């Protein structure tokens, strides 16, 4: 009799563990944790793709370290902002925002240019790896005429790319000089 009760007392927790462990710990198909997205590799892949498209017009673009750092800081702000305010952030004057960091868009000929910005947001659970998210982002950039025109503008000399991850989204902010 004691053996029967002992078996039930041990058996019930085991049954619950077996039944509920997959529900509690299973993140869902293709749902990477934020640690699985290498933001530096993502940034490099984006820059490579942009330059591949720009080289068709014989005009590559350089990643500017300072502009890149500013874009990273701004992307982090965006990732920590209420998603409803992202449009307001996108409507800001990027030249003024970047100037507030003490940076001016100085062109090779010495003139001061304006800074444009492009924000892309995606749900990171849709992507299995950096290549798939890069492909999606680049497709989005080149399917939108305004973004494509900004990225392929032959007067564009420098870019800063900021990548930030929130609980649900990946944000890529492009500062263009």
- Report the pLDDT value the prediction gives residue 36, as an integer from 0 to 100: 59
Please tell me the predicted confidence (pLDDT) of residue 11. 41
At residue 98, the pLDDT reads 93
Q: Do the beta carbons of residue 176 and residue 115 sit within 8 Å?
A: yes
Q: What is the pLDDT of residue 116?
A: 92
- What's the pLDDT score for residue 41? 85
Is the whole model's pTM more than 0.75, yes or no? no
Residue 19 pLDDT: 34
CA distance 161 to 63: 8
Fold assignment, 33-176? Pathogenesis-related Protein p14a (3.40.33)
- Residues 6 or more apart whose Cβ sits within 8 Å of residue 174: 46, 71, 117, 118, 119, 120, 141, 151, 159, 160, 161
pLDDT at residue 27, as a whole number: 32
Q: pLDDT below 50 — which residues of the chain?
A: 3-35
DSSP state string for 48-105: HHHHHHHHTTT---EE-HHHHHHHHHHHHHHHTS-GGGHHHHHTS-HHHHHHTTT--E
> How much is the pLDDT for 160?
93
Domains of the chain: which residue ranges?
33-176
Q: Report the distance separating Cα 34 and Cα 69, nearest Å.
A: 20
pLDDT score of 168: 81
């Amino acid at each position: 009799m004691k053996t029967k009760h002992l078996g039930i007392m041990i058996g019930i927790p085991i049954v619950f563990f077996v039944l509920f462990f997959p529900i509690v710990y299973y993140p869902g198909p293709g749902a990477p944790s934020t640690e699985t997205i290498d933001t530096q590799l993502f940034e490099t892949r984006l820059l490579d793709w942009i330059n591949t498209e720009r080289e068709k017009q014989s005009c590559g673009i350089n990643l500017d370290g300072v502009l890149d750092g500013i874009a990273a800081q701004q992307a982090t702000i965006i990732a920590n902002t209420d998603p409803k305010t992202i449009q307001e952030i996108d409507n800001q004057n990027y030249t003024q925002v970047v100037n507030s960091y003490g940076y001016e868009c100085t062109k090779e000929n010495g003139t001061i240019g304006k800074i444009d910005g492009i924000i892309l947001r995606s749900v990171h659970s849709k992507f299995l790896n950096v290549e798939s998210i890069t492909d999606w982002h680049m497709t989005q950039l080149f399917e939108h005429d305004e973004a494509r025109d900004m990225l392929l503008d032959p007067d564009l000399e420098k870019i800063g790319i900021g990548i930030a991850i929130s609980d649900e989204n990946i944000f890529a902010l492009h500062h263009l000089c």
